[in-house]
């Protein structure tokens, strides 16, 4: 049977899950937003297409509810978030099936995303209790200073399509833990999962108006409206650098606190002294998780001359073994990319690289059939002037270049305006530390192709953004420091 044919039982279950999406939690609108399955190009559900008036209505509701929520105890907020965690896990089948249908990732990866998303909620349920504060003396000794954190206020949370659940919960959970209300805008392409999460949160005890979800095809009307409203005090955005830059400009109007998780161009460095199997395994994970559609995906692979032939042979063998097909086929480990634009972009990047001298080792094309599919692809000897050497690939295409010295590799890795993530494979401790220190990125994976971790402060430097998500730092993004000083007699 073709990998493009979904398992009949899973397909039926996913249709039931899609039909169960509760739209009554959303504001109403006469316009309609259609959601598509990227594996078939068919419409699988429709939601209200909210306009700017709806956005302001959402701001009003979440702001009013947020003021009451800010007064609740940390213990109460923690208990509610623990109940949300339990509710998400209880409904993991529905969530995973809908993630796979609207975004296209293989079902096993969708289950992984549900757990990862719920883990953020549980993490921030725990962090809600760790309210930071301090007492200190003034240097002159005649005043006492009390420092405490308060909720920043109403937050606008804008998520991308690549992790429809995780990118939303990574923002909603710390906002609620800190004591903020929120207006969430999921990606236009993948709004369904967030609508289910909203329903489950309310079932678990989150106050009805506290979190508002706006589903819209007009993202710029949304951001123009909400960032012009003085009740909004925070924006957290995950998405591309150009949109992040626009939003920072809009946020500047009312001096709104901003967190920006933006695009990446991650280098992956494999040194001659690396463990070959570990490097191949790590590179497959760093390149192919989520079909290569992650902001931390290994975008440029630099392989040292002495290990290059063996690494490339083993890596290419693994890439050629990926089974491309429908997310609901249990043998499939590479689903569709998100849309036609992505297929065209990947074809263009591969063709440009080959025309400029790169060698195509496997893959390289899009099967002629419905759905947005692109093969797992390896390009060797990619020249520096190829577009793929400087563009965020965001798909299952590996671009390899070879290097001679550590200096050359580090220079190449840093030769980009992005600074989100990097990966280093070496068995030499000095090299691991020195190279990690020299790389201009917010995160480095050392012999590790998986960077994301709820306990870590995820985020980038340079044009990859500002602010952190996860860890204790993730909560601080939704807090403001205040202090009281008392004069001593």
Say how far apart CA 227 and CA 221 lie, in whole Å.
Answer: 10
Asked if 285 interacts with ligand NAD (CB under 6 A), we say no
Closest residue to ligand NAD: CB criterion: 239
Asked if 223 interacts with ligand NAD (CB under 6 A), we say yes
Least separation, in Å, of the C-beta of 132 and ligand NAD? 24
Least separation, in Å, of the C-beta of 293 and ligand NAD? 8
Asked if 463 interacts with ligand NAD (CB under 6 A), we say no
Binding segment for ligand NAD among 95-103, 158-166, 374-382, 403-411 (CB under 6 A)?
A: 158-166
Asked if 159 interacts with ligand NAD (CB under 6 A), we say yes
- How does strand 465-466 pair with strand 257-261? antiparallel
Asked if 391 interacts with ligand NAD (CB under 6 A), we say no
Q: How many residues bind ligand NAD (CB under 6 A)?
A: 29
Closest C-alpha among 116, 114, 125 to residue 84: 125
Of 160, 174, 291, 292, the one binding ligand NAD (CB under 6 A) is 160
Asked if 467 interacts with ligand NAD (CB under 6 A), we say no
**Tokens at 296, concatenated:** 């931390």
CB atoms < 10 A from the CB of 33, how many? 18
Asked if 187 interacts with ligand NAD (CB under 6 A), we say yes
Say how far apart CA 364 and CA 408 lie, in whole Å.
Answer: 28
Asked if 240 interacts with ligand NAD (CB under 6 A), we say yes
Using the minimum distance from each CB to ligand NAD, give the nearer residue, 197 or 307: 197
Asked if 267 interacts with ligand NAD (CB under 6 A), we say no
Least separation, in Å, of the C-beta of 442 and ligand NAD? 9
Of 61, 105, 171, 185, the one binding ligand NAD (CB under 6 A) is 185
Binding segment for ligand NAD among 117-125, 146-154, 184-192, 343-351 (CB under 6 A)?
A: 184-192
Say how far apart CA 50 and CA 286 lie, in whole Å.
Answer: 36
Using the minimum distance from each CB to ligand NAD, give the nearer residue, 167 or 232: 167
- How does strand 421-425 pair with strand 266-270? parallel
**Tokens at 122, concatenated:** 């549980």
CB atoms < 10 A from the CB of 146, how many? 13
Are 232 and 185 a contacting pair, CB within 8 Å? no
Q: Is the dihedral of CA 325, 326, 327, 331 positive or negative?
A: negative
Least separation, in Å, of the C-beta of 189 and ligand NAD? 7
Say how far apart CA 357 and CA 365 lie, in whole Å.
Answer: 17
Of 63, 102, 261, 375, the one binding ligand NAD (CB under 6 A) is 261
CB atoms < 10 A from the CB of 275, how many? 15
**Tokens at 353, concatenated:** 């690289």
Could you tell me where the beta strands, DSSP code E, fall in 363-417? 377-380, 397-403
**Tokens at 316, concatenated:** 């290419």
Site pattern 87..126 for ligand NAD (x: CB under 6 A): ----------------------------------------
Let me know if 408 is a catalytic residue.
Answer: no
**Locus of tokens 């001593």:** 488
Q: Which of 109, 113, 127, 261 is catalytic?
A: 261
Binding segment for ligand NAD among 85-93, 96-104, 216-224, 281-289 (CB under 6 A)?
A: 216-224
Of 152, 295, 301, 439, the one binding ligand NAD (CB under 6 A) is 295
Asked if 234 interacts with ligand NAD (CB under 6 A), we say no
CB atoms < 10 A from the CB of 129, how many? 12
- How does strand 298-304 pair with strand 397-403? parallel
CB atoms < 10 A from the CB of 141, how many? 8
Asked if 263 interacts with ligand NAD (CB under 6 A), we say yes
**Locus of tokens 């123009």:** 224
Terminal alpha carbon distance of the chain: 85
Of 56, 64, 70, 219, the one binding ligand NAD (CB under 6 A) is 219
- Strand, coil or helix: 149: strand
Using the minimum distance from each CB to ligand NAD, give the nearer residue, 246 or 365: 246
| Residues binding ligand NAD (CB under 6 A) | 158-162, 167, 185, 187-188, 219-220, 222-223, 238-240, 243, 246-247, 261-264, 295, 392, 394, 420, 460, 465
| Residue positions annotated with a catalytic role | 261
């Amino acid at each position: 049977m073709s990998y493009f044919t979904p398992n009949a039982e899973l397909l039926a279950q996913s249709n039931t899950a899609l039909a169960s999406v509760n739209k009554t939690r959303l504001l109403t609108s006469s316009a309609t937003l259609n959601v598509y399955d990227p594996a078939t190009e068919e419409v699988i559900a429709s939601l209200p297409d909210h306009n700017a008036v709806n956005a302001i209505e959402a701001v009003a509701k979440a702001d009013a509810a947020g003021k009451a929520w800010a007064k609740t105890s940390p213990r109460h907020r923690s208990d509610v978030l623990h109940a949300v965690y339990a509710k998400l896990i209880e409904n993991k089948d529905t969530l995973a099936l809908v993630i796979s249908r609207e975004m296209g990732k293989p079902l096993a990866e969708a289950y992984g995303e549900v757990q990862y998303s719920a883990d953020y909620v549980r993490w921030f349920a725990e962090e809600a209790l760790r309210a930071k504060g301090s007492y200190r003396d003034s240097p002159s000794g005649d005043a006492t200073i009390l420092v405490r954190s308060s909720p920043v206020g109403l937050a606008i949370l804008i998520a991308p399509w690549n992790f429809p659940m995780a990118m939303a919960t990574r923002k909603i959970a710390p906002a609620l833990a800190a004591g903020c209300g929120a207006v969430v805008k999921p990606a236009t392409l993948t709004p369904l999962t967030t609508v289910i999460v909203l329903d489950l949160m309310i079932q678990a005890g989150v106050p009805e108006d506290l979190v508002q979800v706006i589903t819209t095809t007009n993202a710029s009307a949304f951001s123009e409206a909400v960032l012009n409203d003085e009740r909004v005090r925070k924006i957290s955005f995950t998405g591309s650098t150009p949109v992040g830059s626009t939003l920072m400009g809009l946020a500047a109007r009312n001096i709104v606190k901003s967190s920006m998780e933006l695009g990446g161009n991650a280098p992956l460095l494999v040194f001659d002294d690396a463990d070959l199997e570990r490097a191949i395994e790590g590179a497959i994970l760093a390149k192919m998780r989520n079909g290569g559609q992650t902001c931390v995906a290994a975008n440029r692979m630099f392989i040292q001359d002495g290990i290059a032939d063996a690494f490339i042979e083993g890596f290419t063998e693994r890439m050629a073994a990926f089974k491309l097909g429908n997310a609901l086929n249990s043998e499939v480990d590479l689903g569709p990319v998100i849309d036609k634009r992505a297929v065209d972009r990947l074809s263009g990047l591969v063709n440009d690289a080959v025309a400029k001298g790169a060698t195509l080792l496997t893959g390289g094309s899009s099967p002629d059939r419905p759905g947005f599919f692109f093969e797992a692809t390896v390009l060797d000897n990619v020249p520096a002037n190829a577009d793929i050497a400087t563009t965020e690939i965001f798909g299952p295409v590996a671009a390899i270049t070879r290097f001679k010295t550590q200096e050359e590799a580090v220079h190449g890795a840093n030769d980009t305006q992005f600074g989100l993530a990097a990966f280093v494979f070496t068995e030499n401790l000095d090299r691991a530390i020195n190279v990690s220190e020299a790389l201009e990125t917010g995160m480095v994976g050392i012999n590790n192709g998986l960077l994301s971790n709820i306990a870590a402060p995820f985020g980038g430097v340079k044009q990859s953004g500002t602010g952190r998500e996860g860890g204790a730092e993730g909560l601080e993004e939704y807090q403001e420091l205040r202090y009281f000083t008392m004069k001593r007699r």
